[in-house]
Structure 1
């Protein structure tokens, strides 16, 4: 199914209405995973024509996504990644963890953006950043789409490497599921229990009586809703 390519409409609007010159698109990946960090990419693109085929990372095949990521990293004006660990997610809740990862990404850019375009309808970033939220911004906005692809590829690579190099992780299929629920992941949890890379405040442990004692106290109602699996539209 063909998709409309993303445009610079939002960036142009921000430039016209706020005077912003440096605008970063921000998107996250890993929100709905059971293991691994939540990862945020901040990408500054300017108003140049993007590489062909750019859209939301979820709409691109893994092979094409990898190639496109390489093209984007050369094409963007700047990009940076930020992560929040499973421990930080358990301690802070998802909204605060997302903000932490986003601030880390934005702070990693060589120049501070005048404005930020955030994918979705909720502003989890807040003051002092000037934020414009855009529903499905990863499909409609060039900078956010670029951030979506770069974040997805880098987190997938991190999780695949984790499955290879971290003791006890090879059975979980992180190279395929990137820490999200899957039959292989669920079976490994049943047999082996969670690893140090799992989020221990999430509800999947309720279905594992032998490992339920490891569960951490839920931080917030928002975190509990996100951990319940499939309620908010995950990005696997």
Structure 2
């Protein structure tokens, strides 16, 4: 699995006065269906040893993710999840939808973080939050790794719940990402009520292309073409 995340970034932020640090990560950005989810996770003070094997959710099996997600809430000081629906993604665009989901997660925490440690190089959260971005933070930071696991398991559960109504799309297996079974069902049956209709995949499906939503220059207004 390689080297596991540690507290190097958290220690640096703490030395600069960040007492409460929330690690933040998202899941669902590249999916064709379903929401985008963001988790904010605050590790315990004193940088205690994390649960064994904690790392970026993408490096874990489903079983191990679920095991960690079961113990992390009791190990963390606090955590919260925010989401932006597929309708909000269509209306706002992905960057604004991520901002909305992240602010919902941060706003739901029982304590306000001094610093937000965000995975990636782009700050999609913005003011009034003090944000520190870090590339591959989910592999470097315990807080962000915890957020990545909780967000992934939460969203996977939401998508699995849609599987009974749309079994052809195999959402329980692919979580709305464009796996072969998903793409085949989409071509044959068209988008479900949970698909993102502003995404370019519809341009490649002549029989469903008319459903594509194009966002106008003014945010919040939709044009159906």
Shorter-chain TM band: over 0.9
1:9-48 equivalent positions in 2, closer than 5 A: 9-17=8-16, 19-46=17-44, 47-48=47-48
Aligned with 2:212 (options 205, 212, 215): 215
Is the aligned partner of 1:190 residue 2:173?
no
Q: Describe how 1:1-236 pairs up with structure 2 within 5 A.
A: 2-17=1-16, 19-46=17-44, 47-164=47-164, 167=165, 169-218=166-215
**Contact residue 90 and residue 219 of structure 1 kept, 8 A:** no
State the superposition RMSD in angstroms.
1.1
Task: Give the match's secondary structure for 1:4.
Answer: coil
Any gaps of 5 or more consecutive residues in structure 1? 221-236
Taking the aligned partners of 1:184 and 1:120, their CA distance within structure 2 comes to: 30
Query: Closer, same or farther in 2 for the Cα pair 1:219/1:151, shift >3 Å?
Result: farther
For these two proteins, the number of residue pairs brought into alignment is 215
Could you list the structure 1 runs, at least 4 aligned residues long, displaced by more than 3 angstroms after superposition. none
| Partner-residue secondary structure (3-state), 1:162 | coil
- Using the TM superposition, give the Cα deviation of residue 219 of structure 1 relative to its aligned residue in structure 2, in angstroms: 5.9
For 1:162 and 1:219, how far apart are their aligned partners in 2? 30
- CA drift at 1:192: 0.9
SS at match of 2:25: strand
Cα distance in structure 2, aligned partners of 1:88 and 1:28: 16
Could you tell me the TM-score, scaled by structure 1's length? Answer: 0.89
Q: Distance in 1 between matches of 2:147 and 2:216?
A: 28
Please state how far the C-alpha of 1:74 moved relative to its aligned partner: 1.5
Alpha-carbon displacement from aligned partner over 1:69-111 (angstroms, at most 9, x marks no partner): 1121221111100000011001111100000000000011101
Gaps of at least 5 residues in structure 2 are 218-225
The structure with more helix, counted as a fraction of residues: 1
Q: Residues 219, 72 of structure 1: CA spacing in aligned structure 2 closer, same or farther, 3 A cutoff?
A: farther
Distance in 1 separating the partners of 2:113 and 2:48: 17
- In 2, Cα distance between equivalents of 1:137 and 1:26: 9
- SS in structure 1 at match of 2:40: strand
